[in-house]
Amino acid sequence: MATTEIGTARTADKAETVDLLIYSDDVDTRRAVMAAVGRRPGKGLPLVRWTESATHAGVVKKVEEGDFALLVLDGETGKVGGMAVSRQLKNEIYNCPPVLILTARPQDAWLAVWADADAVVQAPLDPVALQEAVAALLRARQAR
C-alpha cells in the first residue's frame, strides 16, 4: 500500500486536499484511475491525494484508520472483489465514505446495487466518465 499525492500547492497557503482510496490488485488499473481523475476532479473541488491498496485486508485497515472522502473499488480484483469489499465496508463502517465501483460489464450494475455502491463506472474506463463520477460524489459529500 502506498500513498501518492497528485499535485502540490504552489501558493503560500496550503491547498485543500481530499484523500481518496483506490483498491485493485492490478497496478495498471490503479494508475489509470489516478491519471483519469487527475489532480483536481472538477472545478471548485480540492486537490486529490491517493492511497493505493492491492489487498482486501489493506483496504479494510486503511478505511478503519483513515478519513477518506471516496473509495474507488475495482470489481474485478481477484480473491475479494470490489463489490464484496463495498458490501462489507458499508455494513461494518459507521459513516462509510461513498463508494465508486469499477465493473467489467454493464450487466454487473445490479451487483453494484447489491454492494451498496454510490456510483458505477464500466470498463473500458472512460476518463471523462470516471472524472465526472468522482467529481459528482465529492460534490454530494461537500453538500452534506
For residue 111, tell me if it sits in a domain: yes
pLDDT value of position 3: 57
Query: How many domains, the chain?
Result: 1
For residue 11, tell me if it sits in a domain: no
78-108 in b/e form (b: 16+ CB < 10 A) is: eebbbbbbbbbbbeeeeebbbbbbbbeeeeb
Task: Write out the chain's pLDDT in tens, 144 residues.
Answer: 555 555 444 443 467 999 999 999 999 999 999 999 999 999 999 999 999 999 999 999 999 999 999 999 999 999 999 999 999 999 999 999 999 999 998 888 899 999 999 999 998 899 999 999 999 999 998 887
For residue 6, tell me if it sits in a domain: no
- Taken as a whole, the chain contains a residue count of 144
Distance CA 39, CA 49 (A): 8
35: domain range?
A: 16-143
For residue 57, give the CATH number of its domain: 3.40.50.2300
Distance CA 18, CA 49 (A): 6
